[in-house]
Amino acid sequence: MHTDHDRCVRAVQSKDARFDGWFFTAVLTTRIYCRPSCPVVPPKVENMTFYPSAAAAQQAGFRACKRCRPDAAPGSPHWNQRADAVARAMRLIADGVVDRDGVPGLAARLGYSTRQIERQLRAELGAGPLALARAQRAQTARLLVETTALPMADIAFAAGFASIRAFNETVREVFALSPTELRGRARGGRGTGPGAPGVLALRLPFRAPLCPDNLFGHLAATAVPGVEEWRDGAYRRTLRLSYGHGVAALRPRPDHIECRLSLTDLRDLAGAISRCRRLLDLDADPEAVDAALAADPGLSPLVHKAPGRRVPRTVDADEFAVRAVLGQQVSTAAARTLAGRLATAHGEPVDDPEGGLTHLFPAVEALAGLDPAALAMPAARRATLTRLIGALATGELALDIGGDRDEARRRLAALPGIGPWTVEIVAMRALGDPDAFPATDLGVRRAARELGLPATPAALIRHSAAWRPWRAYAVQYLWATDDHPINHLPTD
Active-site positions read 34, 441
CA angle 402, 130, 401 (to 5 degrees): 10
- Tell me how far apart the alpha carbons of residues 111 and 85 are, in angstroms, rounded to a whole number: 9
Residue 438 Cα distances to 45, 170, 391, 413, angstroms: 47, 46, 23, 13
Q: Are 402 and 91 in contact (CB under 8 A)?
A: yes
Read off φ and ψ for residue 103, nearest 5 degrees: -65, -40
Burial call 102-122: b when 16+ CB within 10 Å, e when fewer: ebeebbebbebebeebbebbe
Order of strands, sheet of 24-27, starting from the edge strand that comes earlier in the sequence: 48-51, 24-27, 32-34, 63-64
The residues near 359 (Cβ < 8 Å, ≥ 6 apart) are 226, 227, 238, 343, 344, 347, 348, 349, 350
Residue 270 Cα distances to 7, 144, 385, 465, angstroms: 32, 11, 32, 37
CA 98, distance to chain mean position in Å, is: 18
- Tell me how far apart the alpha carbons of residues 45 and 12 are, in angstroms, rounded to a whole number: 10
Return the number of other C-beta atoms located less than 10 Å from residue 394's C-beta.
Answer: 10
Order of strands, sheet of 257-263, starting from the edge strand that comes earlier in the sequence: 199-204, 257-263, 245-252, 234-240, 228-231
Q: Are 368 and 389 in contact (CB under 8 A)?
A: yes
* E-state strands within 107-167: none
CA 65, distance to chain mean position in Å, is: 25
- Tell me how far apart the alpha carbons of residues 99 and 27 are, in angstroms, rounded to a whole number: 30
Q: DSSP string spanning 447-465? A: HHHHTTS--SHHHHHHHGG
Q: Are 74 and 206 in contact (CB under 8 A)?
A: yes
